[in-house]
Each structure stands twice: as C-alpha cells, then as structure tokens.
Structure 1
C-alpha cells in the first residue's frame, strides 16, 4: 500500500484520538480546578466562621450576661452559639451543672432546637418537658437530659441571623413569663450589637494587617529592584565612557552621547525609586549634613544643568545667602533640580522661572516660582504624595515632589506650595543650624 495513502487514511483517526485525549485532559483539569476552587471556598467559609466565633467570645459583656441569665432563671447552663444551616458552635458558656461543654465546642445541628429557632425566627420556651404538649416526647430533651429550656435568636444590627442565646437545666423552671422573655430578648439584641462591633473591628484589623504586609512587600521589591538595576546600568555607562575615548565617527559619537544621556536619566529614575523605598520602609532619607559656606555656587551649578537640558526656558536667579547653611548639599541640590524640573514641566513656556534663595537669622529659604495654570484644589492635599502627577501624560514616576518633601523632613524643615491664577511657588525652608 502506498505510504502516502496510509498517512491520509490514518490521519483522521489520529486526529480524533488526539481530540478525545485533549477533551479528556481539559475535563480532568476543569474538574481539578473546580475541586480546588470549592476547597478554597470551604476553607474561606470555615475561616470566616471561626473568626466570628472568636469575635463573639471576646465580647466582654458575654460572661456577665450569661451569669445574670443563669441567676435570674435558676438554670444551670447558659450559652451563646453561632448557628448556621449546618453548624452549631459554642461562643460563650456558663456551665454550673457540668453539662460538659466549653467555648469552641460543637453540637450536631440536627440534635438541637436551634435550626427551628433560626428558621422561624422565634424563641422556643419549655418550662417542663414531661408536661409540654409539643416536646414531651421529643428525642432531644431525653438525649441531653434537660427538663427546662429556652432559646432566642440573636440577630446583628443589619438583620442577619447570627445564632442563639439559650439556657437549659435538668429541673423544671418558670421561664414562660413576660419578664424572662423580655430579658432574653434584650440580652440577645445587646449581644448582637457587641458581636457586630467585634467582627467589624476584627475585619478592620485583618484588613489593615494585610494592607501593611502588602505595602511592605511592594516597597521591599522596589528597593531590591532599584539596587539590581544599578549594576547593569553601571556597566552600560562605563562602556559608553570607554567608547567615547576611542576614535569614533561623528555618527557614532552622537549615539554614544545619547546612550550616556539615557544612562543619566535612568540613574535619576533609579535614585528616585530608592529614595521612595527608603522613605516608605521607615528608614527615611538619611542626610549627611555639614556647614556649607558657598551654597550659592552649588545651587547655580544645579540650575545650569537644568538650563542646558531646557534651553527654551528662561531661568532667573536671585541669591541673598549671607550665612553658612547646615545641610546635605547633594540632597539640597536634588530639591533644586526637582522643583525646577516641575516648573519647566508645568510652567508657561514664554514666562521666566524664578529661583530665589535667602537666609535670615534662623532659616535658609529656597523658592521656585513659575507662571502657569493654577494647581487644582483636588490635587493640593495630595501633591506631595508618591506617584502624584498633575498631567498623567508626562514622563516620570511622579516622585520628585514627594522626595523633595522627604528631604525637607530629613532636615527638620518643610516644603510648602501656594498656587493661584498668576503664580505657583514652592518654598523649601530649613534651619541654618544643625537640628537638635
């Protein structure tokens, strides 16, 4: 037989085989995924149930309520239970008759009256089982050996059924009275309010803890990422520096300069990321301060770098520095660069940017002013938050103002802003002397 014909004849069979095999695999995988999802769902439900039981057990008034209910009714066992359609779990117990139950223990739901209380949303009251028309022959009283019993529903403020407040005793008890029923009803409402508050507090604390752990993990990742990026960037920068010293064509020289400029920009972004991580992880931005006697020249150098990068913008400078300033000079120049970059980005192109520095008897003050659109009232309260940008379409991470503010705090100073339709002014103020 021709081999090609054999292949043609058998190909549909092979194809059908693989289709069926694939279907079987996906069916198996779907079943497995469904089992995993159902398992996770059951795990979450169990966790939520245990959390509710724990919250109810921590309510401080529960022991007193159970004790008062026992004393007034004369019944030896009182309890609060979390009741669902399938579970009965004791949250709080007052046991004077050695019933043998403690908080956290469970009963089989079908072997309690609480399903009926839950379903009908009404109390069950039995003063004397042998003489009760409804429950005299019921199996549950005989199983647990009680003659008197009361159980009332506990509902949370939103109307959700939580469980029951119940009491029982091996002897008859006069409990089918309005004052006893009213007391149990009042207690159940009070317990519902306290349990609701405890659950809300527990949820808030868990949510806060998860958020804190998530934030710490994110920020640690950012810090590690920043450090890991610096190594390859340093290699690129070093290679570009070596190439620039060799004989190159004009075109190659242009590309080398582009690489070096990109490295500087990338390094600046990495430093911003690292500063952000330092500020958020609790370490804070660390300053290495010393007494600077020629701060004016250093500030002018930082301004020149911005001028070279943005030749279309006019930057006017006014210095009145008459005193030495205790500061971390590189960090202060970082503030100058960040504030100027912000002014260039958001100021009017045809109007000058003003940089003013001055000292008085107590403070060094740096102001950067630009004309342009007023900062919105919505943006003002969050302007110094990380990742805050007035224009989302612009380049950058939105960390410059946040880092500048953190640098001010590290100097025990402050960075403020005022903005109206005529002018926006950022003011960086620190003490002339070393902070105590």
Structure 2
C-alpha cells in the first residue's frame, strides 16, 4: 500500500471516528426530506464515500467510490463553491448536466469541506429523486455549520494522532524513567482526552441547537468548542516542545556565570516589574549544551519570581560548590567524575509538601493561595535537561520560607 492510499484510508477512518457524523446525516435527511446524504473525500482523481445515510437504495456504502468525472463534486473541488439545486429539470445550469442524468436525482446540495489550513478535504452532500426546497438560509446555514464541524473534528483527530505518535516516540526514549512514563500515560488518557470529550459534548449540543435554529446557542457552543480546541492545541504544543529535549545534542564549554547573566539581561523587564534581585555567585565552566543550560536557568529564575511574595523584594541567589561522587551514588556517571552542585535559592512564598511532590510533573497546575495561578510546567523541562547531562535535580521548600533547588552535574558531562 502506497502512502497516498494509506492517507486516504486514514481520512475515511477519521470521518468514521467523528461521533456526531451519523446524527448530522440523519438531521440532514429529516430536515430536508432528502433520501441520501454523505460525506465524501474528494481528490483530483478519487471520490470516496466516508460516511453514508441511504434511504433511497442509492447503493453506495462507506468506502464505495464514484468515478470523479461523473460527479459535481469534481467541479466543487476546483472552485470551492457550494452547489444547490432545488429542481434539476427546471435548472438553467444543470437541466442537461451529465451527473443528474446518470444518477437520476432532481434535488442536490453539496458543500465543500475546507480545513483551517486551506486544504480541500471533500464535500458534505445530499441527493433525492424528487425536487426539494434547499436554497434557503436555514438549510444552507445548517450545511455550512455541519461542514465546519466536520473540518474541525478532522483537524482535531489529526492533531490527536500526531500527539499520540509524539507520545510513543517519547516513551521509547524515556523507558528508563518510570515517573515520566507514568506521566505520559496519564496525559494520553486524561489531559489530552478531556478537551476532546468536552468538544464531543459541545458538538452534540451544537447539532441540537442547529436543528432547532437557535442561533445564540450555536454561537455560545461554538465559542466553547473553540476554547477546548485552544486548550488541546496548547497541550500538544507543550508536549511537542518537551519531546524535542532529547539528550543527543551538541556539547561545548559553557561559562555558567556568563550564561546566567545573559538570562537575567533578557528577563530584566520582568525582574524590575516583580522587584527581583538576582545575586550571581561563583559558577563553573562545564561541558554542556548551551541552549539547554540557558533554558534550564531561564525556567528556574522565571519559576522563582512567579512564586514571589506579594510584599517586599524577591531575592534569588545562584551559586555552586564542588562535591564528590561518593556523596551522590545515584548519578549515572563514572566514579571519578568531577561534580558540581548548583544552588538556586529564593525568599519566595514556597510550596507545600503536597505541591513539592508534584513540582517536576508535567502540567502540575500548582496553585498557591497567596499567589497568582502558575502551572509550573517549566520545571519538567529542567528535570529533563539535567538528566540529559547525567545529573539530578531536587527541591526543598516550606510555605512562606522560600524554595531551594539543588542541581548536581558532571563538570565534563561529555567529551
């Protein structure tokens, strides 16, 4: 099977997996009196039925095909305009058209399904051997709404499949991390599924609102669906960014003191607004990924001032000291490796014991009652970066007493 055929089969399967498709086709047939309704995947050389409601024994089933040149959808793909025929026999344009003559219908409506990226997917169409009153605002509006919903769900399913692939890739790369594997499984089963579940609920309600012609409710529910889609997109983006933090990257000599000063310079506006003072003490030059080290300190400093107290100056102190391997037997480095411990301490609001246990989780949704809401998700990147360098990271904190992060790294992580 070539890639094109596999892609088409995937498109058909995705339409089948849209939970409200059968309801849509049923509503179309009942509200218009049409006997046949379908969602078709239309390419330059293929017309394939993805989902069908057939009450007139037209004879087409999901997966069935029509010759593309015999369909009006072939023309719709080219001009991306809807075609609506109340009565073929009296139509100036379609009375002598080959398609209605071949398939024996008198009424016809077909709306293009356009994905948000501009790609043409196919059509939502309906036919009947009898004339029908189709060219009116209510019917056209319903078809347009359903076509947009189909496009929206197709995009959502595509993103879900991409995120599933990304999760599988990450799981293969993180087989040595029980905690992260547990988190990815939870994300796949819960975090990503929850906005999808809500979208299915709101979409079902949207169909009912469309059937009832309740325009205000349609607008309200469309907004809810858009919110869920945005949340889903944010989750997938964050997972994608995390998946890129693999350990196979270029290492070089990195002066951590200069790097931290550079990070503080980039954050100067936020530090001034939050009344934050950063004290940078002695830091070593280590063999590391410059970009990952920069992200590490950027996330740690940002996390610190996000959890500052409301009153007074927020102080962050960053320093280091050399340690011996025998004090850190858990690290996956050689016994004679030179190690450095980097400390990042602040006088902020701190975390409770329950929050501290989840501080390095993905999407921990940490909320301190005395602070603005902060998801704290940047810290999971910190743990991944430190592990990429053969090190470890830990945190100690008490509510109201600030937080201290300890990062242990080999000075020569890689040659």
TM-score for the superposition, normalised by structure 1: 0.44
TM-score for the superposition, normalised by structure 2: 0.46
Richer in helix (by share): 1
